[in-house]
Chain A
Amino acid sequence: MKFIFANIFPYRDLPEDFAQKYESSWVDIPSHLYDRKKGHQAYNDYLDQYELAIRLGFDAVGFNEHHGNAYGMDNSPNLMSAAIARKVRETEKTCIALLGPSIALYNPPLRVAEEIAMLDTLTGGRMIAGFPAGTSMDTNYVYGLPPAELRPRFWEALDLIRQAWTRKETFSFNGRFTQLRYVNIWPRPYQDPHPPIWLPGSGSLETWDYCIRNNFTYAYLSYAGYKNAQKFMDGYWEYRDKLGKDQNPYWVGYNQFILVSETDERAERDFEQHVRYFYNKLFRIPAKYAEAPGYRTPKSLLKGGVNQFALHGQHRYSGAQREIRFKEMVESGALIAGSPATVRDMLKEVIQRLRVGTIVSHFQIGSAPQEIVLKSIELFAREVMPHLQGIWDDEWPVVGWPKVAYNRLNQQQEVQPVR
């Protein structure tokens, strides 16, 4: 079982009346709400959290990518990775999981292939390359991509990156969006043939299918809690089975807020207002930015149902502005919160029910101050993680991770004589 430490880099200091006065935390959130000193402090606090997580033995640290918003201020996961790459290299086996580069946004996307090769070279092969399509706010509104072009650009960029990492000779690439006469990156990725590729997504069959057929890990990016995720993940495992593929839990990563304190009551006291800040302020995304027409394919629109009152599909954030009740959110699994013992039991249930090999663990929620987040990370790493890391390792070899993260079963596989 693997745990990735991740932080979305939220802005912690939006005003009390933000939700009453402003309609969006994204795209056109007024810049006067941003205080550069608080931004500086937040960036450095968050990197302190990363360094602590690295010291405490998380299997990986992860970064994502968002643009023009207060929800997540990491515009460049590759830059942030570079800031901690040498710390990672000093550890025995911590990796860096990019859950971010929105490869459709770069021209040429070769840049992403190069930067990850650079990071892989720097860390000696500790990189995981996760490529999401990106939200509509980020890609269509802030980065201006025509919504119906996002996915074609994504698949073309992925094709270019894979070829750039694997083809030995200099080659030409004549794509619809990118044309290159000479593709020949230096440095090459340290891992052979290249860092494991993950596709983070929020549930399209197309992505599952692509992951399964190409041996990519699927990372399910949902905040909705495991009770909502159950049906979805059951569907994934059935689909793998249908394609005649194994049931190795390491093929799946799952997103989870984890809030630990000394006791269950204390966890609620520590985090409740910050949970509210997250959902009411940071997750304040109006329908007009949530899903541009064409962001989802007509096929998935018909499958998911569309909002009858709007041309936009029924969007993912529509539930965000409801009344926040901490206990209900813990019950639904949207939050895993409480004492180390409680968190341990809950997480074990999530891991086994959903059959996931990696938890992308978020400790920073909303405006939570540094002290309580650091405490939460420490309690988790010392009193929760060691009790869960052994799950699966007697049954399944690790897949979708750099070699340093392999287990005993991988080693057994490796020493088998090759004919």
Chain B
Amino acid sequence: MSSPELVTLSIQGEHVAKALVKGEGSPVLFLHGAGGLHWDGYLEEIAKQRKVIAPYFPGTAETAGANELDLRGVWDLVLYYYDLLDQLGVRRADVIGHSFGGMLAAELAATDNNRFDHLVLIGAAGLWNPDIDTPDLGTIIADPNDLHARMFVDTSSPVAQQAIALPEDEEERLRAIVEQVIMMAEASKYLWPIPDKGLRRRLHRIRAKTLIMWGEKDGLIPVQYAYEFQKGIQGSRVVVFENAAHFPQLERLSDAVNATLELLNS
């Protein structure tokens, strides 16, 4: 696969934002999870049919973060992404969000509900039900083996190995780990101590056609949350993939791509 283009944008005047962009056609915004942005096989496949715009979460990849931008909550963050789309000249788009990015995608689609035609949520965060046994990501990341086993059904598979690999070079590896910590710390502002910042109260506003994709064995955000989202979003459809955990878009790549494109083209 050829590399996506790294696009640098100005946000709030002089601050730096960055996105990976690839493909032609109508734009699809992709919001990554708390593990950071990695251009993977799923994005590559979507980019064959659409223009994928995948921003780095503010504060990662040497972009301006919440402190510089004075982002104090979900609302400020939603406006950040609207600003970013405005900078790119994108008025209407589709949006895909994975994990923490799913929470943000739902917030974007609920706030300005004319801006997005289609919404894809993959193993999305943002809702809380005390009756569902929900693991605490903040403690799980202390044990990478546990974390990886919750992310992938088969951690030895090529897609899992590729996703969890760290650079060989010691200095690069240290930098990659610190980058992961920064990403987690930034995401934690919206996920801690409970990943509920009121999204449930806003879901009813979503007008985009919505697909909710989940891995049946998701060890980070249990599959029951797929139905929690479905309850809140009118007309939404749930697809649960067997033999997949928190990254169904990688573990069931072609099925996930087909389901995604089917929705985006509907």
Contacts and interface: CB of A to CB of B under 8 A. Distances in A.
Interface of A: 140-141, 144-149, 152, 176, 286-290, 292-294, 298, 301-302, 305-306, 308-313
B177 interface: yes
B193 A144 contact: yes
Contacts of B142: 286-288, 290, 310-312
Contacts of A310: 141-144
A321 to B, nearest CB: 15
Given A286-B142, A311-B184, 7 more contacts: A140-B193, A146-B193, A298-B182, A302-B174, A306-B178, A311-B177, A313-B181
A361 B72 CA distance: 41
B91 interface: no
Contacts of A146: 188-189, 192-193
Contacts of B182: 298
B190 to A, nearest CB: 8
A286 B139 CA distance: 10
B138 interface: yes
A273 B72 CA distance: 49
A294 B184 contact: yes
A148 B185 contact: yes
Residue among A144, A286, A298 facing the most chain B CB atoms (10 A cut-off): A298
B117 interface: no
Nearest to B193: A144
B111 interface: no
Nearest to A306: B177
A308 B185 CA distance: 17
B68 to A, nearest CB: 13
Given A144-B193, A306-B181, A293 B141 contact: yes
B213 to A, nearest CB: 26
Interface of B: 67, 72, 138-144, 173-174, 177-178, 180-182, 184-186, 188-189, 192-194
A144 B182 CA distance: 19
A287 B173 CA distance: 20
Contacts of A301: 178, 181
Residue among B67, B144, B180, B193 facing the most chain A CB atoms (10 A cut-off): B193
Closest 3 pairs between A and B when the two form their complex, measured CB to CB: A294-B185, A144-B193, A293-B184
A141 B188 CA distance: 12
A62 to B, nearest CB: 30
A309 B142 CA distance: 9
B29 to A, nearest CB: 25
A305 B184 CA distance: 17
A176 B177 contact: no
Given A144-B193, A310-B143, A292 B177 contact: no
A148 B143 contact: no
Residue among A140, A148, A305, A306 facing the most chain B CB atoms (10 A cut-off): A148
A294 B144 contact: no
A383 B17 CA distance: 65
Contacts of A305: 174
Nearest to A149: B189
A80 to B, nearest CB: 27
